[in-house]
Amino acid sequence: MYSTVGLLKNSKHSGKLIGTHQRLDKIARALFARLAPEDVDFPTYKEIVHFEGTRGPDGLKRKSPGVDEPMHFILPDDDDGKLVQMIKNHHHNLKIALKDHNRERSAFEASWLAHAITDGLTPAHHFPYEQAISELMSDKDYVTIFGQPIKGIMRGDSLKQTAHNNWLYWGPEGYMTKHIAYEYRVAMITKRKTMKSLTPKLSRKEISRLKDYSSLDLTAEFYNSLKKIHELKMYDTFREEGWTTDLSRDTAQILLPEIVKMITIGWLSALPEKPITEKPADNHITDKDQNAKA
């Protein structure tokens, strides 16, 4: 999902022109405030959004293409568990940071956790891009310009093959063309709709359940939301028929409120059950740590 505009590298305005992630985070932070205890010590929206745009996962992909990139894709029918593990890592680190009263680290983890959840529930991220890119990149080395690796150019073993591969990727019906077109439509709906209309409508029973945040199981909640969204087959419909009025309706009434709800659950379920007076040892988890264990 969009968190910035590609041309605004390192700009302080990064993410303010579209900023789907920022918009959803803002709505989720307002919902969180309604459900969390009044005296909870949690980063503000401004602190959280500081780690979006060029300071977020999308910015990392631009700064160092192919190097420790967070891949926020998931195949609901054939999940390898990588994205969910990434979500669990950020959630674990957020819990520790909140117990430590480390606001900067808490804001970072809250932001990157929300980003991973949002991308994981976005239908355009339920497509096997890694497999497609691997097939199109006959030559696995990135094209470089002035020594800087350029992501997004499908390099083949010859000029002819490179042109063919890039047509399949960037052509009118190309993998990335469709991906960008879908997310652009979602971004425009997110931008136009009011915060109230994108806030999930919760029953009293659901509000009571979410307020009992210590009993929330983030992994189970995420998979439930993923199943609910995947059953709509939104991206399949878009690839076959283009953007439709049904897609607009389902995006505004189901997809975006569901993402907001899951971001909120991610934050709520990380809250400590009681104040911790003694600072625990630093045991934050990184994706590199997880890969080393695998």
pLDDT, tens only, 254-289: 999 999 999 999 999 999 985 443 444 555 666 555
**What crossing angle do the helices spanning 129-136 and 175-192 adopt, rounded to 10°?**
140
Cα 174 from Cα 160, distance rounded (Å): 17
Domain boundaries, the chain: 20-69+81-125+176-293
pLDDT at 72 over 70: yes
The yes-or-no verdict on residue 55 having pLDDT over 90 is no
Percent of the chain with pLDDT over 90: 61
Taking a C-beta distance cutoff of 8 angstroms, is the pair 93, 105 a contact? yes
What does the pLDDT average to over 91-101? 97
Question: Residue 121 pairs with which residues in a beta bridge?
Answer: none
Tokens of 67: 């190097």
Q: Which fold has domain 20-69+81-125+176-293?
A: P1 Nuclease (1.10.575)
Residue 242 confidence (pLDDT): 95
Residue 9's pLDDT is what? 44
pLDDT confidence of residue 141: 58
- How is residue 32 written in tokens? 């969180």
Calculate the average pLDDT of the chain. 83
| Distance from C-alpha of 83 to C-alpha of 75, rounded to nearest angstrom | 10
Q: Could you tell me where the beta strands, DSSP code E, fall in 77-203? A: 143-145, 148-150
Q: Which two tokens stand for residue 165?
A: 């591969």
In this structure, of 36-40, 142-146, 189-193, 231-235, the range with the lowest mean pLDDT score is 142-146
Half-sphere exposure of 106 (CA within 13 A, CB side): 22
